[in-house]
Structure 1
Amino acid sequence: MVADDLHEVLLILYNAGASRVPASDVEWSTQMAPALNRAFSMQYIIYRDTSRGRRFSLTESGYLAIGKEPPNYMSISRMFRSMLGLER
């Protein structure tokens, strides 16, 4: 179980689409900064800077932290990383 503030941050991203969500579509407030930092440091959320701007995504552990089932492609990706010896 994650803290309420962290859970809220993850749910906001999940409700915004969970994967490759444009920064402008995510409704995080400035008061959520500590929880966001924790989400990034715990690798529940990742971001990528693209030519279209910053995009946020939940990781597999982010889905699990809020009790949601990760998409199937995440399991396939994990299987390939494991087979190639790239698992951490």
Structure 2
Amino acid sequence: MVEPDLHNVLLILYNAGATRVPASEVQWESQMAPALNRAMSMQYIVYRDTSKGRRFSLTEAGYVAIGQEPPNYMSVSRMLRSLLGLGK
């Protein structure tokens, strides 16, 4: 179980689409910054800067932290990395 503020940050991203969500579409508020930073440091959330702006995604750990089943492609990706010896 994660802290309520961290859980809320993860749920907001999950409800916004969970994967490759444009920063402008995520409804985080400024007081959520500490929880958002913690989510990223704990690798529940990752982001990528693209030519279309910053995109946020839940990681497999992020899905698990909010009690949701990660998409199947995450399990396949993890299996392939394991088979190829690429670590986590």
Instruction: Tell whether the structures are fold-level matches, with TM greater than 0.5.
Output: yes
**Distance (whole Å) between structure 1 residues aligned to residue 67 and residue 30 of structure 2:** 25
> What TM-score do the two structures reach when normalised by structure 1?
0.98
Report the alpha carbon displacement of residue 69 of structure 1 after superposing the two structures with TM.
Answer: 0.2
Report the alpha carbon displacement of residue 86 of structure 1 after superposing the two structures with TM.
Answer: 1.2
Name the residue aligned to 1:59. 59
- Unmatched 5+ stretches in structure 1: none
Report the alpha carbon displacement of residue 22 of structure 1 after superposing the two structures with TM.
Answer: 0.3
**Distance (whole Å) between structure 2 residues aligned to residue 85 and residue 2 of structure 1:** 30
Structure 1 segments (4+ residues) deviating >2 Å: none
Name the residue aligned to 1:79. 79
* Paired residue total: 88
Q: Map Cα deviations across residues 27-61 of structure 1 (whole Å, 9 max, x no partner).
A: 00000010001000000000000010000000000
- Unmatched 5+ stretches in structure 2: none
> What TM-score do the two structures reach when normalised by structure 2?
0.98
**Distance (whole Å) between structure 2 residues aligned to residue 9 and residue 28 of structure 1:** 7
Seq. identity, %: 78
Aligned positions of 1:1-88 closer than 5 A: 1-88=1-88
Secondary structure, counterpart of 1:11 in structure 2: helix
